[in-house]
């Protein structure tokens, strides 16, 4: 066009971007390019594949070590092979006795864990909120916490009228302290700005605990619940092996007494599977209670 002057390079550099460029479109194209699929969307499938691969490699190593009876300081001569354990599993699943053992252990875990959560979470919230209560309770908890579950068995038998109640009590102790300590840690990490803001809006003490402290502490509480469930299973198995008459721990110890090695391995695998299922259930509940953490 006559009389028109072209913009200088400096003017072109300082000119605002066009609408298509602001939207991320490539130069010379009318529509923005489609976003690339994030590599993080493939992570669940990749994680599942690696989990299956690691389990397969573990079973393969187990099969090779037991088949060739490796004896390099650690002796695999008497360890049952995966096929022997599978045959024992078929026999156990065909009878109701094995399911009775599993049911008794799950019932004891449920009672002891739920009672521990019902006591430890409110107590941890109150100890984190009121210094005097923490100074009174925390020293006692720290003295009792290192005592292993197996050391509590004779005392529990003397304290409670039946073996069933003593085993539930030991399971309660195993899960109580991790839940309490994680709740206390969560209370210590609550942002004081949130507390001051709630007080400025007229929140009373109960409202502070319900609306500020509890939601802010939930991630640590569920961490304590997950850890407490694992310790509860360890405590339960120890109690069942010593003083129980039913349960998966008693089943495993009885198999050792009767020199049934494949049943020992079956009991150990069952304990691991039950513990994994319990921890998975807690994580699922945590995702329902804390949807904001699952979205991250």
pTM of the model: 0.79
Strand runs (DSSP E) across the chain, as ranges? 71-72, 74-75
DSSP state of 1: -
Return d(Cα 101, Cα 78) in angstroms, integer: 25
Angle between helices 96-129 and 261-289 (to 10 degrees): 40
Handedness of CA 227, 233, 238, 244 (dihedral sign): positive
- pLDDT given at position 56: 94
Q: pLDDT tens digit string along 215-259?
A: 999 999 999 999 999 999 999 999 998 877 889 999 999 999 888
Return the SS3 of 246. Answer: coil
Band of pLDDT at residue 294, cut at 50, 70 and 90: low
* C-beta separation of 265 from 216 below 8 A: no
Query: Which fold is adopted by the domain 81-294?
Result: MetI-like fold (1.10.3720)
Contacts of 48 (CB under 8 A, 6+ apart): none
Return d(Cα 275, Cα 106) in angstroms, integer: 10
Return d(Cα 85, Cα 263) in angstroms, integer: 7
* C-beta separation of 246 from 101 below 8 A: yes
The 8 Å CB, 24+ separation contacts for 161-165 are: 163/243, 163/244, 163/245, 164/108
Handedness of CA 184, 218, 119, 250 (dihedral sign): negative
- pLDDT given at position 259: 86
User: By C-alpha distance, which of 219, 190, 214, 226 is closest to 125?
Assistant: 214
Matching residue, tokens 């939207």: 23
The first and second tokens of residue 132, run together, are 């005097």
Contacts of 138 (CB under 8 A, 6+ apart): 127, 184
CA-to-CA separations, 145 to 68, 79, 128, 155, 214, in angstroms, rounded: 44, 35, 18, 15, 24
The first and second tokens of residue 179, run together, are 């839940």
* C-beta separation of 123 from 137 below 8 A: yes
Q: pLDDT tens digit string along 122-163?
A: 999 999 999 999 999 999 999 999 998 889 988 998 999 988
Distance of CA 17 to the CA centre of its chain: 50
The first and second tokens of residue 283, run together, are 């994580």
Return d(Cα 239, Cα 233) in angstroms, integer: 10
Q: pLDDT tens digit string along 29-83?
A: 555 555 555 554 466 788 888 989 999 999 999 999 999 988 888 888 889 999 9
For the chain, give every domain's residue range.
46-79, 81-294
């Amino acid at each position: 066009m006559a009389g028109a002057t072209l913009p200088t390079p400096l003017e072109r550099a300082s000119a605002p971007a066009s609408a298509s460029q602001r939207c991320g479109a490539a130069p010379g194209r009318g529509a923005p390019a489609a976003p690339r699929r994030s590599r993080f969307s493939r992570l669940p499938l990749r994680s599942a594949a690696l989990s299956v691969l690691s389990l397969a490699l573990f079973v393969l190593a187990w099969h090779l070590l037991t088949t060739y009876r490796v004896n390099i300081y650690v002796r695999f001569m008497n360890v049952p092979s995966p096929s022997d354990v599978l045959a024992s599993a078929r026999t156990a699943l065909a009878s109701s006795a094995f399911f009775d053992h599993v049911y008794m252990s799950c019932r004891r875990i449920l009672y002891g864990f739920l009672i521990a959560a019902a006591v430890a979470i409110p107590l941890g919230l109150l100890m984190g909120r009121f210094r005097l209560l923490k100074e009174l309770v925390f020293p006692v908890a720290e003295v009792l916490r290192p005592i292993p579950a197996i050391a509590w068995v004779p005392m529990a038998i003397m304290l409670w009228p039946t073996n069933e109640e003593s085993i539930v009590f030991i399971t309660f102790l195993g899960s109580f302290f991790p839940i309490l300590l994680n709740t206390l840690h969560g209370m210590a990490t609550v942002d004081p700005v949130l507390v001051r803001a709630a007080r400025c809006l007229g929140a009373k003490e109960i409202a502070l605990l319900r609306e500020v402290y509890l939601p802010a502490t939930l991630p640590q509480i569920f961490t304590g619940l997950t850890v407490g469930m694992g310790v509860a299973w360890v405590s339960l198995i120890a109690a069942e092996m010593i003083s129980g008459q039913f349960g998966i721990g008693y089943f495993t110890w009885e198999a050792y007494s009767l020199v049934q090695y494949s049943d020992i391995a079956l009991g150990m695998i069952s304990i691991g599977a039950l513990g994994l299922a319990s921890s998975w259930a807690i994580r699922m509940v945590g995702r329902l209670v804390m949807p904001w953490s699952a979205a991250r």
